[in-house]
Amino acid sequence: MNSKRIVTIICCLIGWQSSSGQAPPDNQELDSFKRWQAHWNTRFDSTIKPKVGVYPKKPADALYTFKIGGTYRFFSTYTRHKDALILNEVNNDTALQKSVFVGDDSQLPNLTLNFSGRPSAKTAWGFDLYAFQFLDGKINQTYGQGQVSQTNLPTIYSPLTGTRFGTNLGLLLGINLYGNFDTDIGTFGVKTGGIHWVSLSDFTLAGFTGYNRFMLFERNPWDPVTGNVSDRYSSFYNQGNINQDTRWGERAFTGTIVEASNLPGNLSLKALYGKTELNGGFLTIPNLSYGGQLKKETPFGFVAFNTFHNQTYSDSLGTNSIGFDISTIQFQANVSKGIILKSEIGAGQYYSPVHSLPFGEAINLKLNFTEKISKVPLELHFFRVSPNVINNNAIFFNSAIREASNNTLAAGTVGSSQVLAPFASALTAIGQFTNNRQGVNINAEFPMKKLKLSVANGISSELKGLSNQISYGHPVNQLTRSRFWRWNFPTNVGAYGRYNVIFRDVYEIVELSDTFVAKKFNVMEVQAKYSGKIGLKRFYAFLLNRYSSVQDFISPITVFSEDAYLRHYSNELETYYEYNDRCVIATYLGYESIVANYQTDLDAITNAPRNQRGWGAGLGIDYDLSKNTALFLRHRWFHYEDRNFERDAFNGTETVVELKLTF
């Protein structure tokens, strides 16, 4: 051992003994001593290496955390039709009297696996893997094609050739990769590939969430499994909402997403480059979406600049393009104690080989008052969206312009753009608005002892009379009705060819004899929530009523007379009873009435307008099988008829079995 090493050891021992034998130094001396000791310890560790003996091997720097989680969902429906149901009059297609369907035809996965790791304290990575369950048998009409031979199945080397089950299963089927890391100037994250769920703002990129006025009896694919089966209903009563997964209020996006937070000046950044549902699929023609958000937090709220752009070429040479641009300024501020202002103001345009529209305005203003100001929680909402503003990735519908298509494929097939036809003059719920419209909404809540009441009134008007059509949906039996047509989203189907199928919904078109008049809309919503006990067990009851009308004049409330082109009423009541800690019994009852006047299309036989009635009744059980595993059973009786259009009717039952587990 040389002299340098001997001196090193002696100095370290003397330093340790002197520090332990003297009074504690002050802070400055202590910091100096720690730096000196760290220096010599480093010298000692790096210079003195044992030559003999057995010592534990030091592990190399490697991944120190690795996790796998996910969700499995079994979903099956059994449907019986007592009367013949017309699916498509053109090819004389009717629904099977009895049918069993396993899986979710909305292209949502049965199995989701989430892989994640953390190689260092400042860096993480992960990817998601989605798997879909296929039936391999004589499936015929259920899947729209017969059994596929093994020789004609697509191969892993050429997945687009051959005959594929379900035609198009692209959404949420892929591999995502993401990572994040911390630096001295902020935290950065990168997501790429697969499908990611992201949002910017209501006018640029977002999903509609509304005012939590919805029913819980019919479960959504993204509803999580809670710790207790009754948590879902107690949360809806106590907090006004329920737990949702990452898809709630977000939009599907594939490509590259870069996020930065904790930047200097309280700034955050989000940038996107890739594709949305509008330009995904297997098209070889270039098509893309890109945008982002720059946000600054302030002591009073925040201010953000948002922008989003979509471009699809209509020819393989890339000379003609179809798309839109929109940019907005968004801010939220506490105006005073008890008053909050939320706003988004911007401009957008749409362009195509047949459209050359100037920029139009997009305005969304909300003023919230707390109980200190208005005695009850109150919100005033004003919106105005120009007919030139088109963005099918935002929370508003296009009801103004028939968008150009980059292909001639029929609606519902792979790569088709035909579903982008406008929703005519759409009848919507409070908070769900369209372009070519301006209006005001008032929302108020009246909390009582055991009863919580929420009411809203909306008045709106079209800016221009661009259509002689009105589109509307059917809240009662909505999802059951949408499952009549499997896999595809066809248009002009059903009796009289007036139904259009979209994601988990169906809307109907009614023609007006009036010229293109700027129509006026009214909607009133009443929601009541009650919680009590039957014996010693908790009981919940939720009521949701909507009353809407469309006419050619402004009215302060819904029009209940034949002066309205269309009157649309729906009433839904559901109850939940906690039978025990592991079981909840659910019931549902709904009734709807849609009546048109004689200024709409009439039946050729009765010479009368639409007079529609529908009802649904349901019974269900939520049962907690074990930790993070639950079984959900739903049985529904449904009935619908148009008293003046004889062929528009259906009647039957549907049983739904869902097994869901998380791990």
Secondary structure class of 499 (helix, strand, coil): strand
257 and 325 share a domain? yes
pLDDT exceeds cutoff 90 at 473: yes
Give the β-pairing of 566-580 and 583-596.
antiparallel
pLDDT exceeds cutoff 70 at 111: yes
The pLDDT value recorded for residue 355 is 81
Name the more confident of 622 and 246. 622
pLDDT exceeds cutoff 60 at 54: no
Banded pLDDT at 454 (limits 50, 70, 90): very high
pLDDT exceeds cutoff 90 at 121: no
pLDDT exceeds cutoff 70 at 522: yes
The pLDDT value recorded for residue 541 is 97
The pLDDT value recorded for residue 321 is 85
Classify residue 116: in a domain, yes or no: yes
173 and 266 share a domain? no
Highest mean pLDDT among 179-193, 288-302, 306-320: 288-302
* Mean pLDDT, residues 109-117: 84
114 and 26 share a domain? no
The pLDDT value recorded for residue 415 is 46
Question: 637 with 618: CB under 8 angstroms?
Answer: yes
Name the more confident of 526 and 64. 526
How far CA 360 is from CA of 75, 353, 385, 388, 590, in Å, comes to: 44, 19, 8, 5, 40
Would you give the DSSP letter of residue 9? H
The pLDDT value recorded for residue 502 is 84
Tell which of 47, 62, 80 closes a domain.
47
342 and 199 share a domain? yes
Domain count, the chain: 3
Instruction: Give me the domain span that covers residue 384.
Output: 183-208+249-410
pLDDT exceeds cutoff 60 at 237: yes
Question: 458 with 434: CB under 8 angstroms?
Answer: no
Bridge partners of 658, per DSSP, are: 75, 632
Helix-helix angle 27-47:3-21, to 10 degrees: 150
Residue with tokens 């020819």: 315
Residue 320: how many other CB atoms lie within 10 Å: 14
The pLDDT value recorded for residue 223 is 85
The pLDDT value recorded for residue 61 is 55
Highest mean pLDDT among 64-68, 236-240, 487-491: 236-240
* Mean pLDDT, residues 560-584: 96
As a whole number of angstroms, the longest Cα–Cα distance in the chain is 114
Residues 499, 489: Cα–Cα separation, whole Å: 11
Residues 449, 441: Cα–Cα separation, whole Å: 27
* Tens-place pLDDT, residues 126-169: 877 777 655 544 444 444 444 556 677 677 667 666 665 544 44
Banded pLDDT at 106 (limits 50, 70, 90): low
Residues 206, 323: Cα–Cα separation, whole Å: 18
The pLDDT value recorded for residue 488 is 73
Residues 337, 112: Cα–Cα separation, whole Å: 45
Banded pLDDT at 635 (limits 50, 70, 90): very high
φ, ψ of residue 41 to 5 degrees: the values are -65, -40
Angle subtended at Cα 202 by Cα 199 and Cα 207, rounded to the nearest 5 degrees:
55
Residues 292, 271: Cα–Cα separation, whole Å: 4
Residues 30, 36: Cα–Cα separation, whole Å: 10
The pLDDT value recorded for residue 62 is 56
- Picking from 368, 297, 374, 305, the residue whose alpha carbon sits closest to that of residue 334 is 368
Tell which of 410, 430, 460 closes a domain.
410
The share of the chain scoring above pLDDT 70, in percent, equals 79
pLDDT exceeds cutoff 90 at 435: yes
pLDDT exceeds cutoff 90 at 599: yes
* Tens-place pLDDT, residues 83-100: 889 999 888 889 999 998
Classify residue 195: in a domain, yes or no: yes
Question: 232 with 226: CB under 8 angstroms?
Answer: yes
Classify residue 324: in a domain, yes or no: yes
pLDDT exceeds cutoff 90 at 337: no
- The mean pLDDT value of the chain amounts to 83
The pLDDT value recorded for residue 410 is 54
Angle subtended at Cα 118 by Cα 116 and Cα 121, rounded to the nearest 5 degrees:
150
Classify residue 61: in a domain, yes or no: no
Banded pLDDT at 371 (limits 50, 70, 90): confident
The pLDDT value recorded for residue 11 is 47
Residue 576: how many other CB atoms lie within 10 Å: 25
pLDDT exceeds cutoff 80 at 326: yes
Length of the chain in terms of residues written: 663
* Residue 143, H or E segment: none
* Tens-place pLDDT, residues 372-393: 887 889 999 999 999 999 998 9
The pLDDT value recorded for residue 588 is 98
Classify residue 297: in a domain, yes or no: yes
Classify residue 243: in a domain, yes or no: no
The share of the chain scoring above pLDDT 90, in percent, equals 52
138 and 188 share a domain? no
* Mean pLDDT, residues 609-618: 97
299 and 377 share a domain? yes
The pLDDT value recorded for residue 364 is 97
pLDDT exceeds cutoff 50 at 576: yes
Tell which of 368, 392, 410 closes a domain.
410
137 and 204 share a domain? no
389 and 275 share a domain? yes
Residues 74, 72: Cα–Cα separation, whole Å: 7
303 and 361 share a domain? yes
25 and 118 share a domain? no
* Tens-place pLDDT, residues 395-417: 998 988 887 766 555 544 444 55
Residues 69, 254: Cα–Cα separation, whole Å: 22
pTM greater than the 0.95 cutoff: no
346 and 405 share a domain? yes
268 and 383 share a domain? yes
Name the more confident of 315 and 251. 251
Classify residue 8: in a domain, yes or no: yes
Classify residue 534: in a domain, yes or no: no
pLDDT exceeds cutoff 60 at 418: no
